[in-house]
Amino acid sequence: MKVQQILNRIYVNEMDQAVAFYENLLGQKCNIRFEHKQLQLELAQVGSILIIGGSDEVLKPFRNTKATFIVDSIIEFKDFLLENGATIMKDIKETPTGINMIVKHFDGTIVEYEEQRN
């Protein structure tokens, strides 16, 4: 059971401008960018930044999620989290990049856990 990467979430209305800004700021190129048509979102990753783009209305339900933890086994993390006072807000489901779940930690912090496809 291992957290492989932690992505800080940034919510934006203008994806192209945000991607260019974070590429310049971090000196790294965007390595993932795709549309999640079902949710009307566009997502991009630059370094440890996950940029989530959409209208204010579309972004509203996502803004309370503070980070994305990329993990090696979402099932193991689910069991661990439940045993340690967390609440599953959205159970495991398929995503364009793997499977995920949304969890509220015992301290109230909301985090997305994602196990990516290889």
Query: How many domains does the chain fold into?
Result: 1
**Whether residue 118 has pLDDT greater than 90:** no
Q: Domain residues for 112?
A: 3-116
Residue 17: give its domain's CATH number: 3.10.180.10
Residues forming beta bridges with residue 111, ordered by sequence position: 67, 103
* Mean pLDDT score across all residues of the chain: 96
Q: What is the mean pLDDT of residues 4-24?
A: 97
Percent of the chain whose pLDDT exceeds 70:
99
Mean pLDDT computed over 3-32:
97
Enter the pTM of the model. Answer: 0.90
* CB-count burial class (<10 Å; 0-12, 13-18, 19+) for 31: exposed
pLDDT of residue 96: 87
